[in-house]
Structures are given as structure tokens and as C-alpha cells.
Copies of this chain bind each other. A is one copy, B any other.
Amino acid sequence: MNITDELNKYKSIIDSELEKIMPNEDSLQKKIFEAMRYSIFAGGKRLRPILTLKTSELISGSYEGALKIALSIEMIHTYSLVHDDLPPMDNDDFRRGKPTNHRVFGEDIAILAGDGLLNLAYETMLKSIPLNREYYKRYISAIREVSKAAGVFGMIGGQTVDIQSKDDVLEEKKLEFIHNKKTSALIEASIVSGAILAGASNEQINNLRCYGQAIGLCFQIRDDILDRIGDKKMLGKNIGSDETNHKLTYLSIYGMENSVREIQRLNKKAIESLSVFDDKESLFLKELANYLANRKS
């Protein structure tokens, strides 16, 4: 398996399905559709929705039933970026090499575009529930998983702690909270929701949850490293911004050597979590863990 080919193949699926589902009518509120589409089609890697599809496929052999939830997770991820980039938050001018939403549409529309993406995610997930099939319960359970990860006990909680400059909390404890909530929570939910939708057993769900937590943290630490030593062109954003903004990162607390060692440990843990699955069927998730641990962008 060539992991980048496989990622590209599934990225195309997500892109074309999003194209179908994102509102685009010529109506009075078309400006909000433009702004939402601008950010959702700004060149994201589609990591989260791909994880949902691939996990679903691992369990049931098919990703069809998980498609709408996967697209919704990408909307939630995108809304969080649009709001995080706003001037009162991280005040970022560029993302993925393009001007951020508020730089193109203004702060007011960017706030509404974020709100619109979050709400559309829920509208889309709610519409996807097959009301007359016994497995409607899986959908509700999966959507609950996503909603918890997105909320004040997940991403929003993580971002809250991240933007708070000073308090008397230990840096290590604070960093762990931010990493777990801000990044890992939705990555974990992407995987777990895909598993639930496909009818995974509790044991399978638990193992996949471990996998998700491990790659989520791994992803974040690699992000911190790339912000220091990455290639600006490949990343599509300036490097060194964490240091300039005095951001709390794994690197700033534990240093480079420990960060690299932690990535290796998490990567090993992720791959071990997959041992209950068929070797061949879980190959993609294994390769993906390795890929994320070593990624350059």
C-alpha cells in the first residue's frame, strides 16, 4: 500500500461529497455560503473524515454509512479553524497558504461562517439517521461521540485553556489538557464514530479509541516540531509562530529529544492497539500512524 496514494484517493471522495453537500444557491444569504465554502475548500488534508471512513471500512468493509458523519466532522474541524484564526483569538492572517476567512470576508461574516459550519454539521448528522432501521441507535451514539468531542468538555474547552495566558496551573497539566481536548478529542471521535456506525464491538471500540488518542497526541507533537523546524512552503504558513506567541507546546516544556522519543512511544502504542484486527485489513491505519509521526506538512 502506498499511503499517500490511498490518502489522496479518500481525500478526493471527501472533496467531491462536500462539493455536493455545501450550500451554494444564489439566495439573499449567499455571502455566508461563499465564506463557508472558502474555508472548507481551502486545501485541508481531510485527515479526520478519512479516519472515519477508513475505520468504518475496517469494521464492516464499507464506508458508505459513515459518509455524512465524516463530512460533518470536517465541517466542525473547519469551523474551529475559522474561529481560532479570528483577531481576538490567534489573529492569523494565513492558513494553508491562503488568507484566513476574516481577511477575505471580514470578521463579522467569519464569525457567522464558523457558526454556520458548526450548525450545518449537526443538521447533516441529524438528517443522516436512518429512522426506520434498528441501527438508528448507532447513529445517535456516534453523533453523541462527535458532539462531546466538539464541545466545552472537548475542543472548545481546550481552546479556552490554550488562549488563557496566565494562571497558577502547572504547565505540564495545562499542556496535557490542551493536547487532549483541543486536538486529540476530535481525532479520537472521528475514529470511534466510524467504528460505532459500522457496528464495532466494545472491545474493538476501546482499541480504536486507544489508537485515536495515540495518533492524536502524536499529530499534535509533530505539529509543534514542524512549527520549529518545518518548511514554510510545505506547511503553507510561517514557522516559529509558537515561540513568538509564547505558546505552551510539548517542545517548549520537554525539549526536542523528549518530543521525538514521545512520538516514537505513541506511534508504537497506536500500532499495538490495532493488534486485535486482521493484519491486512488494519494496514492502512498502521501506515497512517507511521506517516503522521514522520510527516513534513
Contact = CB atoms under 8 A, between A and B. Distances in A.
Interface of A: 23, 27-29, 31-33, 36, 79, 83, 86, 88-89, 106-109, 111-112, 114-116, 118-120, 122-123, 126-127, 129, 131, 136-137, 140, 143-144, 147-148, 150-153, 156-161, 163-164, 169, 173-174, 177, 181
Contact of A161 (B28, B89, B107): B28
Point out which of A108, A114, A131, A173 has the most chain B C-beta atoms below 10 A from its C-beta.
A108
Nearest to A181: B29
Q: How many copies does the complex hold?
A: 2
Given A28-B173, A28-B177, A29-B158, 17 more contacts: A28-B169, A29-B152, A29-B153, A29-B177, A32-B152, A32-B160, A79-B115, A83-B111, A86-B108, A88-B108, A109-B160, A111-B111, A115-B115, A116-B151, A119-B151, A119-B156, A126-B147
A257 to B, nearest CB: 28
A86 B143 CA distance: 30
Contact of A118 (B106, B109, B119, B129): B119
A174 B29 CA distance: 10
26 contacts: A23-B153, A29-B157, A29-B160, A29-B161, A36-B152, A79-B115, A83-B111, A83-B115, A86-B111, A88-B106, A88-B107, A88-B108, A89-B108, A109-B160, A109-B163, A112-B156, A112-B160, A115-B118, A116-B151, A119-B150, A120-B151, A120-B152, A123-B144, A123-B148, A126-B144, A131-B140
Given A118-B119, A151-B120, A28 B126 contact: no
A188 to B, nearest CB: 16
Nearest to A36: B152
Given A89-B108, A108-B163, A164-B31, A147 B174 contact: no
